[in-house]
Amino acid sequence: MSEDISRTEPWHVLTQWTSARIAMGRVGSSLPTKAVMEFNADHALARDAVYASLDLAEMQEQFAQAGFTTLVARSRAQSRSEYLRRPDLGRSLDPVCAAELQLKNIEESGMLSVVVADGLSALAPRLHAAPLLKQLCEGLGHWKLDSVVLATQARVALGDEIGELRGAEAVLVLIGERPGLRSSDSLGAYLTYRPRVGRMDSERNCISNIRPVGLGYEQAAFRLKHLLERARILGATGVSLKDESDDLPALQ
């Protein structure tokens, strides 16, 4: 007769409230076989997310159906391998794209440029960028939304150059974050006021882990709208702008 020699942790009940890898149990001094296999599967998904490509045709169709116009851009990194080895190349536009994105009739203020980028997980923008933008556009106030720029082999700072070329008052970069072992589709949102080449990370605000099992679209859009309005008042983002949206009335 077989005997189950695995030991269940007494705090295993907490796993119903988190996707974190906790209370996996023990078999002697080792992990149960099931936990090891789940770890290997999640690790494979994370690796796949890093190396996956952004399907531009699919993304353009997805945004068109959602009512957005799109433009396409790429960084100076010529391949995924080069992108991963040379982060600096992912922060600047390919010269051909820079010429195509240059907006000739630049308005004085009020334009929000949105860059949807593959980053370190192309899966994240494919799943979450369009639904988040639809939520953001509801009650956006006096901001005028620019065409959505779909950027490949992109780092966050690529948005600074794009925003400057578009003459945007602010730029929002929606980018795939570094995959975790149970979060291969996590989307990050980076907001920079008065974007220009050379902006530092301390000059932008970040909202992380946007996905249905993390920070939901409605909550993320609520925070972004608050940051946008405060950025306009302060004339800055980053360390100068504190996210106080948690102190505001709860979402209905």
The CATH number assigned to the domain holding 137 equals 3.40.50.11240
H or E element that contains 206: strand 204-210
Average pLDDT, the chain: 89
Assess if residue 249 is contained within a domain. no
| Residue 123 covered by a domain | yes
Radius of gyration of the chain (CA): 21
Summarised one tens digit per residue, pLDDT across range 135-191 is 999 888 889 999 999 999 999 999 999 999 999 999 999 999 998 877 889 999 999
Six token digits for residue 245: 């949206």
Element (DSSP H or E) covering residue 145: strand 144-152
Can you give the residue range of the structural domain that contains 98?
A: 55-241
In a domain, 5, yes or no: no
pLDDT(89) > 90: yes
12-21, 164-173, 203-212 — which is least confidently predicted? 12-21
- In this predicted structure, the answer to whether residue 5 has a pLDDT above a threshold of 60 is no
Confidence of residue 128 (pLDDT cuts 50, 70, 90): very high
Closest among 227, 131, 203, 129 to 173, alpha carbons compared: 129
Mean pLDDT of 64-93: 96
- Percent helix, strand and coil across the chain, each to the nearest 5: 40, 20, 40
pLDDT (0 to 100) of residue 39: 82
Polymer length in residues for the chain: 252
**Amino acid identity at 216:** G
Distance CA 142, CA 22 (A): 45
Residue 44 located in a structural domain? no
Residue whose structure tokens are 């997310």: 49
Is 19 within the bounds of a domain?
A: no
Residue 184 lies in a domain: yes
In a domain, 37, yes or no: no
247 in a domain, yes or no? no
State the total domains in the chain. 1
Torsion, CA 147, CA 162, CA 86, CA 96, rounded to 10: 90
**How much is the pLDDT for 252?**
42
Cβ proximity of 48 and 121 under 8 Å: no
Residue reference for tokens 């939304």? 145
